[in-house]
Structure 1
Amino acid sequence: MNILFLSIGRLNNIEDRGLYTDLLRQFRDNGHNVYVVSPREKRLNKPTEYGSDNGVKFLRVRIGNITKTNVIEKGISTLRIEGIFLKAIKKYLHDIKFDLVIYSTPPITFGKVISYVKKRDNAKTYLLLKDIFPQNAVDLNMFSKKSLIYKYFRLKEQQLYSQSDFIGCMSKANVDFVLKNNTEVSPDTVEVCPNSIEPVKIQKDESRIREIREKYNIPLDKTVFIYGGNLGKPQGIDFLIECLKANKVNNNVYFVIAGSGTEFNKLKTFFDSEKLTNAQLFAQLPKDDYEILANSCDIGLIFLDKRFTIPNFPSRLLSYMQASMPVLAATDVNTDIGQVIEQGKFGFWCESSDVEQFNKKIQRLCDIELRKQLGINARRYLEENYTAKHSYEIIMSHFK
């Protein structure tokens, strides 16, 4: 089959580890012809290019800047991507007949591109639903349901669903949400196709772990909790701050917060004023150092804002599971990530408004033997449920 994958993220190398590269390698390795269309931002000062990379064809399309720029430029560039992608596909991929088009959210603005290829080639279309927009923005009070911007993007969302022959959701709660709030969508077209990776074996080198911890002044004799990733509105940073405050004099634990995002400065201000002795905030670490540090910690943390009505399912979970780490998730009540974690017996959940419950889970996770068993369960659950092979087989089940 000829597979077209549309992405708003920069996919530099098909051999890189990640949600989409791991999945695309499954298609490649099973004998399919894979074509990837991805953006190349203007600030990189490179033209649109079409070529091959490790058995996968890449069409890297020059677009405006959508990262590391102001809101206005990002907005305009995002709205223009659809037309620019369509023009590039017509120019460079006009002689390829695609059997399947795969795309993910965000964004929800690929409608014209999908419609064109679907009609031209009679292709099937598969949406990997990773983000339910614009409702997530409404949840965080970015705009209201009465606003024109909501109505515009809601229409785009509905068009995207109607163009998708199949919609793969991250979890059962996502499936239920889509069907409940989009009654025009047929239940036969919506299924669970979870976030997934190709797990690699994490070798824990004790001497290297000791070296990294000493380098960054992280104690060896405390239970170390790590949060790594985006530090923005969706993570509900105010609750994280409350939890750090509540554990300020807890000598049994240590918190490592590493990441970037719109709320980083709020966290930095908090750290600067509180002078915490059992927590550190890192903006940017060398990639190798971060991976060793993350894999040498004891428990992985996940935070989601308590206001969410949509069931988010952060992919950060997979990296913790890959490293055989227990997980503590503090989230809203609408996501089912907590149910998955607790039913899979690889961690705990609490609501991201309940500091007392968070602290109780923290104390339980200071038990070394419990942590060890939860970590074994995490790795096992990953290999049994969340591998790229699983996702590949779910998608391909529609073509047998």
Structure 2
Amino acid sequence: MASVVLLTTKYASEKKDAWLTNELAYSLRDQGYDVSVVVFSWLKNDPESSVAELDGINVVRLKLHKLFYTTGFIGTAFKVLVFPYWARFVVGRNLDCCDLLIANTPCITIQGLSGYFKRRYGSKSYLVLWDFFPFYLKDLGVIRNKLFFKFFWFLEKRMYQSFDRIGCMTPGNIDFLLENYSGVERDKVEILPLWTDQKPVVSVDRCRLRQNYGLPQDKVIAVYGGAMSIVQELTNILDLAEQSMDMNVLFLFIGRGTEKKSLEDEASRRGLKNVRFLDYVPREEYEGLVASCDLGLISLSRKLSVPSFPSKSIDYFKVSLPILASLDSVTDFGSILQNEIQAGYSVVAGNTALLSERLRELVSDSDLRKKMGCSGRIYYERHLSVESARNKILSII
């Protein structure tokens, strides 16, 4: 039986909160592979170190001393440097073999580990590339010193060069990788779309769900579900809400994050009666709640300089919701959404007038919402299955 190891910074302990890495691990397990997951607790509140078997998968968690979880460049640099060496020790004690190493970004946290696995186990390596760590931090103003940026960029470049194959979400991601990281061979880079454990179309009692959460029955509900941080620049959605007071629409925010309190305060200060906030909702309830809404919102900071494919789009595609997206100017997701998938509208972040115009079209035309929602569901079924991603990754061995 072949052995597969996943290296990641995000892996849920319970199935009800399963994320992309969980779904990939389950799919590999169901195909008969011996699966281990090595999880780096990157954030201060992440779980403590442990070794356990969860759902037939060996899960090894690594957490450093609390001193390493200080904010800023120094704390991040220490984690980047210490985590890989601590991982070598823990991996050596807990893993006997590995035929395939799968890692996902931010891969800077696993500096040198792909080479370590090759030397120790003779394993092949596949990198799932979702973001570019130093550019991401620079765009958000976390890294302002050019030397600090070069430090992280150099480490990340070495990591990309060390993997046998790299999967990127979109053509824009591939172009960015090859343009900004010299030495990465084009023939080892391929498109690997985001994935999900595919489910049948959700059948929900919209009236009951809306009643349970105190939501109006007679309004079009535009939902944003997910993290609320500076990455999303969700003030753009508040601007849209302010421009849409005359529309029969409610803006629903679901989730938590560093910016949630300031967003709530800002909505209150502006007197936005068409905005509602809900706290974190468990995964099995979240999908039903989203399905009871009418359109999905996506927002990304205009400061971002790296193309991306927002993972929350999958939740909207899954339940046939059309998407209204406010995006940075460099991402190719907007073009993919509008022209390839035909499942919504995309507007460059900051253009509130055009965003409001697109919203008005969606609010006033239920047939258009249904048509776009169906297109998103078709794309979901054809391109975003975990089986498809699994098979593409496994083709390396």
TM-score for both structures, normalised by structure 2: 0.91
SS of the aligned residue for 2:138 comes to helix
Look up the match of 2:153. 154
- The answer to whether the 8 A contact 2:11-2:21 is kept is no
Show CA shifts across 1:244-266 (max 9, x none): 2212x223111001222222222
- The answer to whether the 8 A contact 2:238-2:267 is kept is no
Cα distance, 1:112 vs structure 2: 2.6
- The answer to whether the 8 A contact 1:258-1:284 is kept is yes
Code of the residue aligned with 2:183 in structure 1: it is E
Q: Show the 5 A alignment for 1:305-324.
A: 305-324=301-320
Give unpaired runs (5+ residues) of structure 1.
none
Q: Percent identity?
A: 28
Cα distance, 1:299 vs structure 2: 0.6
Look up the match of 1:389. 387
Cα distance, 1:134 vs structure 2: 0.4
| CA RMSD of superposed structures (Å) | 2.4
Gap change, CA 1:227 and 1:88, over 3 Å in 2: same
Look up the match of 1:231. 228
Look up the match of 1:332. 328
CA distance in 2 between partners of 1:53 and 1:280 (Å):
37
Of the structure 1 ranges 166-175 and 234-243, higher mean CA displacement relative to structure 2 is found in: 234-243
Q: Show the 5 A alignment for 1:65-104.
A: 71=71, 75=76, 76-77=78-79, 79-93=81-95, 95-96=96-97, 98-104=98-104
Code of the residue aligned with 2:272 in structure 1: it is L
Gap change, CA 1:203 and 1:42, over 3 Å in 2: closer
- The answer to whether the 8 A contact 1:52-1:58 is kept is yes
Look up the match of 1:372. 370
Instruction: State the aligned residue count.
Output: 391
- The answer to whether the 8 A contact 2:80-2:110 is kept is no
Look up the match of 1:113. 113
CA distance in 1 between partners of 2:315 and 2:178 (Å):
29
Give unpaired runs (5+ residues) of structure 2.
none
CA distance in 2 between partners of 1:327 and 1:175 (Å):
24
1:362 and 2:359 are equivalent in the alignment:
yes
Of the structure 1 ranges 389-398 and 295-304, higher mean CA displacement relative to structure 2 is found in: 389-398
Show CA shifts across 1:362-385 (max 9, x none): 011121111112111111110101
Show CA shifts across 1:270-329 (max 9, x none): 122123221112233455554432221111111011122110221111111111111111
1:292 to 265, 279, 288: 288
CA distance in 1 between partners of 2:46 and 2:250 (Å):
39
Code of the residue aligned with 1:352 in structure 2: it is A
Code of the residue aligned with 1:260 in structure 2: it is R
Cα distance, 1:58 vs structure 2: 2.1
CA distance in 1 between partners of 2:180 and 2:275 (Å):
41
Look up the match of 1:216. 213
Look up the match of 2:27. 26
TM-score for both structures, normalised by structure 1: 0.90
1:345 and 2:342 are equivalent in the alignment:
yes
CA distance in 1 between partners of 2:263 and 2:321 (Å):
25
CA distance in 2 between partners of 1:28 and 1:322 (Å):
24
Look up the match of 2:267. 271
Code of the residue aligned with 1:101 in structure 2: it is L
Q: Show the 5 A alignment for 1:162-177.
A: 162-177=161-176
CA distance in 2 between partners of 1:66 and 1:385 (Å):
43
Gap change, CA 1:183 and 1:155, over 3 Å in 2: closer
